[in-house]
Amino acid sequence: MSELKKPGIPDELWINKCLINGRWVQAKNDKLFTVINPSTGEEVGKVPMMGKAETREAIDAAQVALGPWGKKTAKERSDILSRWFDLILQNLEPLAEILTLEQGKPLSESRGEIIYAASFVDFYSAEARRIYGETIPSHRTDTRILVLKQPIGVVGCITPWNFPAAMITRKAAPAIAAGCTVILKPAEQTPLSALAIVSLAERAGLPPGVINIVTGDPVEIGAELALNPIVRKLSFTGSTEVGKLLAAQCASSIKKMTLELGGNAAFIVFEDADIEAAVDGAMLAKYRHSGQTCVCTNRFLIHDSIYADFTARFLDRVRCLRVGNGFEAGINIGPLINEQAVKKVEAHVKDALGKGASLLAGGKRLEAKGTFFEPTVLGNVTPAMQMAQEETFGPVSALSRFETEEEAISLANDTPYGLAGYFYTRDLARSFRVAEALECGMVGINTGFLSVETAPFGGIKQSGIGREGSHHGIEEFVELKYVCIGGINQ
Ligand code: SIN
């Protein structure tokens, strides 16, 4: 495909075709699109530019595969997922290299993501065997009530560029474990990781049609997945704007949806916090993946009495961050995904400075090739500034002050989003009070890191619907069927 492939990446993981019905194919019109390395601006490779026709073919294949796959025993499905998990870990290094090549994140973070991706396959390979139904005490002596859990059917999964491996397995593994079949549409920026991960699923023994992948036109593929009545469930991770569009399209066939959308996480440091621990958490919650995760802190709310101390210690740490190509040793901050992302970060910084924020560190893009932005800290940010209202999705920390617990909660909740929130305190009663008052799906108390396969990930308000990960995540892919059995003589 391209000389940019690293020598350690085997040919069988460097794929420029899509898997539909068990065959690796090109687009019907042979069109390709280019994948760019955001660290260098160079071409990494080309993959098929597919659209509606190929998506429809994949949906039809998934429908045919559904019956036989759903009839397999839970153990048979579990065993295949377990082999997929082993293969992902056996290929950890080349998968991490592909990820850094097309996505830019530091190689150590890519390795972490591949392990995170594998953890969902491992978890759901076990969970396949625990999809328990129910019996419910009956209203009559001659009647019994059963509740069956059955696979929902054909599932469309649309995944983002910020976690090109983990968001695939977080969706596909529970769907497949539950007995569903899948059509996957990875982000245009990062299809190579997706193709490699899917090739390992095929190698693990998934029958033709159980997992299909189409790369290409997001509007055409998304619309087909959302509008086609054969697809019974759509799982999407991405922006709230696109989530709303897909939800409107899914309404035409009353399709079940999981939506994992934008966030605007607040990180509150109370006056009784362990400040050093709060700084550690803040670094993780803000600068992991250069600020490009939906659970990244977007707003720091610091108690007035410790604002100066926290800010000084935080700045010391931010100034040590090293920005650069993710393949270089010691790099903490990779590039932003593309020019558009840099422009958004620049606009938010300019808006905040124009409205009176103070520049404490960074503030501009790097001169080097690629889409790098300096780790930036702004002080005295107010709710009137754009970066307090919208997700910046970049390495910019916005610091504000508060005086009372009520004020901090009210500022944190003053957003249409509700994905994650964080706070630091040593007071147990306050821990419960604030955790219960924050309007979000996930809360970190004295930690800046929440993501794990065993816990339910997801948001409320305009951050989404449904949960991924944990035993709750598999419920998204089953339907309940109530069976009433009468005529049982006592
Ligand atoms: C996301 O940003 O969508 C996922 C982040 C995570 O799983 O940690």
Pocket of ligand 1 contains residue 400 by CB under 6 Å: no
Pocket of ligand 1 contains residue 268 by CB under 6 Å: no
Q: How confident is the model at residue 1 (pLDDT cuts 50, 70, 90)?
A: very low
Query: Tell me, what's the pLDDT at 173?
Result: 98
Pocket of ligand 1 contains residue 290 by CB under 6 Å: no
Among 105, 167, 169, which residue has the most ligand 1 atoms within 8 Å of its CB, making it the best to mutate? Answer: 167
Cα 355 to ligand 1 centroid, rounded to whole Å: 31
Integer Cα distance of 425 and 268 in angstroms: 9
Query: Tell me, what's the pLDDT at 178?
Result: 98
- Decide if pLDDT at 368 tops 90: no
Pocket of ligand 1 contains residue 239 by CB under 6 Å: no
**Residues composing the chain:** 490
Mean pLDDT of the region 199-210: 98
451, burial (CB in 10 Å: exposed 0-12, middle 13-18, buried 19+): middle
Cα 458 to ligand 1 centroid, rounded to whole Å: 9
Pocket of ligand 1 contains residue 462 by CB under 6 Å: no
Pocket of ligand 1 contains residue 237 by CB under 6 Å: yes
% the chain with pLDDT above 90: 97
Strands 32-36 and 442-445, bridge-based pairing? unpaired
Cα 7 to ligand 1 centroid, rounded to whole Å: 30
Query: Tell me, what's the pLDDT at 5?
Result: 72
Cα 162 to ligand 1 centroid, rounded to whole Å: 8
Mean pLDDT of the region 427-449: 98
Instruction: Return all residues near 386 (Cβ < 8 A) that are at least 6 apart.
Output: 347, 348, 351, 352
Q: Looking at the CA of residue 451, tell me the nearest atom of ligand 1.
A: 8
Mean pLDDT of the region 194-203: 98
Mean pLDDT of the region 11-27: 97
Pocket of ligand 1 contains residue 293 by CB under 6 Å: yes
Mean pLDDT of the region 29-48: 96
- Decide if pLDDT at 239 tops 80: yes
Pocket of ligand 1 contains residue 181 by CB under 6 Å: no
Query: Tell me, what's the pLDDT at 289?
Result: 94
- Decide if pLDDT at 315 tops 70: yes
76 is catalytic: no
- Decide if pLDDT at 150 tops 60: yes
Mean pLDDT of the region 460-467: 98
Mean pLDDT of the region 211-240: 98
Pocket of ligand 1 contains residue 451 by CB under 6 Å: yes
At 388-397, the pLDDT tens digits run 999 999 999 9
Q: Looking at the CA of residue 288, tell me the nearest atom of ligand 1.
A: 8
Which whole-number Å values give the CA distances from 127 to 9, 123, 167, 311, 458, in the listed order? 32, 6, 18, 44, 19
CA angle 14, 15, 20 (to 5 degrees): 155
Which one of the listed residues 157, 180, 250, 294 is annotated catalytic?
A: 294
Integer Cα distance of 95 and 110 in angstroms: 8
At 420-435, the pLDDT tens digits run 999 999 999 999 999 9
479 is catalytic: no
Integer Cα distance of 44 and 37 in angstroms: 6
At 137-147, the pLDDT tens digits run 999 999 999 99
At 370-382, the pLDDT tens digits run 899 999 999 999 9
Closest listed residue to residue 405, CA positions, set 315, 280, 305 = 305
At 93-126, the pLDDT tens digits run 999 999 999 999 999 999 999 999 999 999 999 9
Which whole-number Å values give the CA distances from 406 to 268, 274, 434, 482, in the listed order? 12, 20, 9, 45
Q: How confident is the model at residue 333 (pLDDT cuts 50, 70, 90)?
A: very high
- Decide if pLDDT at 413 tops 70: yes
Between 28 and 490, whose confidence is greater? 28
Mean pLDDT of the region 35-53: 96
- Decide if pLDDT at 47 tops 60: yes
Which one of the listed residues 54, 224, 260, 390 is annotated catalytic?
A: 260
215, 186 Cβ separation under 8 angstroms: yes
Query: Tell me, what's the pLDDT at 4?
Result: 72
Cα 479 to ligand 1 centroid, rounded to whole Å: 26
Mean pLDDT of the region 324-347: 97
Q: What does the mean pLDDT of the chain come to? A: 97
Cα 318 to ligand 1 centroid, rounded to whole Å: 22
Q: Looking at the CA of residue 296, tell me the nearest atom of ligand 1.
A: 2
